[in-house]
Amino acid sequence: MATTTSSGTNSLKDWSAAQYLKFEDERTLPARDLLSRVPLASPKRIVDLGCGPANSTAVIQSRYPDAQLVGIDSSPDMIRKAKTTLPHLDFSVQDLTSYTPESAVDLFYSNAVFQWLKREERFEIVKRLMATQPSGGVFALQVPDNLAEPSHVLMRQTASSGPWAAKLASVGRDTFQTPQEIYDQLIPLSSQVNIFHTSYYHSLENHEAIIEWVKGTGLRPFVDPLQPEEKEEFLKAYLAALQKAYPTCADGRVLLRYPRLFVVAVKK
Ligand SMILES: C[S@@+](CC[C@H](N)C(=O)[O-])C[C@H]1O[C@@H](n2cnc3c(N)ncnc32)[C@H](O)[C@@H]1O
C-alpha cells in the first residue's frame, strides 16, 4: 500500500459530532474492546485523548466511575457535544501534538485518533506522554486498519480518476506503523506491549450507508476541498464503485468489514 501524505487535521474543516454519531453503536464497540484489555483495577487519573463527542469517555466512566476522568480533543464541535453529554466531566479543546498533562496519569486511552496524526509524530507523542506516567501506568490505543479495504481503496481511486484529481493529489492518510514497528518503539519504556487485531463486520442498510459512515471520518479530507457540484459527482462515482465491490447480502443489507489494530502498553 502506498504511503500518502497526511493532510493533517488542521487543514480540514472541523469534525461534525452529529455526522460521526450516526454510527455511534458500531464506533463505540472497539472502544469497549480496547478498555476491556486495560490491566488496571482502579486508576486514579485517566485522560481520553481525542475523546470526540464523549462516546468513548462514557465507556471509560462506566468501568471506572471513581476515577478523575478528563477528555481532550482538537475539535471545538466535538468538545461542545462532549460537554453536553457528560456535563460533570472536564473536557477541553487541546491538540495532542502539544498536550502535556497537569499531573501524573495512570491511564492514557485513545480510541480511533492516532491514525489522523502524521506518521512520524504518532509514537513520539505516545513516548512523550508515557514518560510522564508512573510505573505500571497504561497507554491504550486503537486505530482503524482499513486503508486496504475496498471502502478506502475506492475512495482513493475515485479521487485520482476524476476531474478533481489535481485538487486531491496529496490527500490521504499516512499508513499506520506495523505491529513490529510499534513494539520496537514502545518496548524500551514498557514492561509489556500487547498488540492485537480484530475485524468487525458491520451490517449496514445499503451502499449509501457505507458513504454515510466514511463521511464522518475517512472521506472528509477527500470531499472537504470540493465545490458542491464536484462533491455530488464524486459521491456518485464512489457509490457506483462501492456497489460493484460490496455484494448485497441475503437480507438486502451490505456487510462492511472493518479491521482495527489495538495496542496496550504498560509503563516499566
Ligand atoms: C474518529 S474520532 C474518535 C472519537 C472517540 N474517541 C471515539 O472513540 O469514537 C477522532 C477524534 O480525534 C480528534 N483528533 C484528531 N486529531 C487530533 C489531534 N491532533 N489532537 C486532538 N484530537 C484530535 C478529532 O477531532 C476526533 O474527535
pLDDT at 13: 65
Residue nearest to atom 10 of ligand 1 (CA): 113
Residue 249 Cα to ligand 1 midpoint, Å, equals 32
Q: Are 267 and 135 in contact (CB under 8 A)?
A: yes
Mean pLDDT of 85-92: 97
Residue nearest to atom 26 of ligand 1 (CA): 52
Ligand 1, residues 23, 29, 113: which to mutate, most atoms within 8 A of Cβ? 113
DSSP 226: S
Atom number in ligand 1 closest to CA 27: 9
Mean pLDDT of 105-123: 96
Using alpha carbons only, how large is the chain's radius of gyration in Å?
19
Residue 21 pLDDT level (bands cut at 50, 70, 90): confident
Ligand 1, residues 13, 49, 74: which to mutate, most atoms within 8 A of Cβ? 74
Whether the per-residue pLDDT at 11 is higher than 80: the answer is no
Residue 6 pLDDT level (bands cut at 50, 70, 90): very low
Whole-angstrom distance, CA of residue 266 vs CA of residue 134: 10
Q: What nine digits make up the cell of 169?
A: 493529489
CATH number of 17-267: 3.40.50.150
Residue 233 Cα to ligand 1 midpoint, Å, equals 28
What are the pocket residues of ligand 1 if the criterion is a CB atom closer than 6 Å to any ligand atom? Answer: 9, 15, 27, 31, 50-52, 55-56, 73-75, 78, 95-97, 111-113, 116-117, 217
Atom number in ligand 1 closest to CA 78: 27
Atom number in ligand 1 closest to CA 51: 6
Q: Helix, strand, or coil here: 235?
A: helix
Residue 112 Cα to ligand 1 midpoint, Å, equals 7
Taking only the tens place, the pLDDT of each residue in 42-57 is 999 999 999 999 999 9
For every residue of 157-199, DSSP letters joined together read HHHHHSTTTTTTTT---PPPPPHHHHHHHHGGGEEEEEEEEEE
Residue 250 Cα to ligand 1 midpoint, Å, equals 35
Atom number in ligand 1 closest to CA 17: 27
Whole-angstrom distance, CA of residue 85 vs CA of residue 109: 19
Q: State the CB neighbour count (10 A cutoff) for residue 53.
A: 29
Distances (CA, A) of 162 to 25, 111, 149, 232: 34, 33, 20, 12
Name the residue among 188, 197, 221 with its Cα closest to residue 12: 221
Q: Which of 138-152, 165-179, 194-208, 244-258 has the lowest mean pLDDT?
A: 165-179
H helix runs in 101-146, sequence order:
119-130
Q: What nine digits make up the cell of 125?
A: 507523542
pLDDT at 173: 79
Name the residue among 148, 122, 258, 264 with its Cα closest to residue 196: 264
Q: Please give the mean pLDDT across all residues of the chain.
A: 92
Mean pLDDT of 176-182: 98
All structural domains of the chain with their residue ranges: 17-267
Q: What angle do CA 144, 88, 111 make, to 5 degrees?
A: 10
Atom number in ligand 1 closest to CA 217: 1
Residue 12 pLDDT level (bands cut at 50, 70, 90): low
Whole-angstrom distance, CA of residue 103 vs CA of residue 126: 16
Residue 73 Cα to ligand 1 midpoint, Å, equals 6
Residue 82 Cα to ligand 1 midpoint, Å, equals 12
Whole-angstrom distance, CA of residue 73 vs CA of residue 91: 8
Chain centroid to CA 262: 11
Residue nearest to atom 25 of ligand 1 (CA): 75
Name the residue among 36, 44, 85 with its Cα closest to residue 65: 44
Residue bearing the bigger pLDDT, 107 or 215: 107
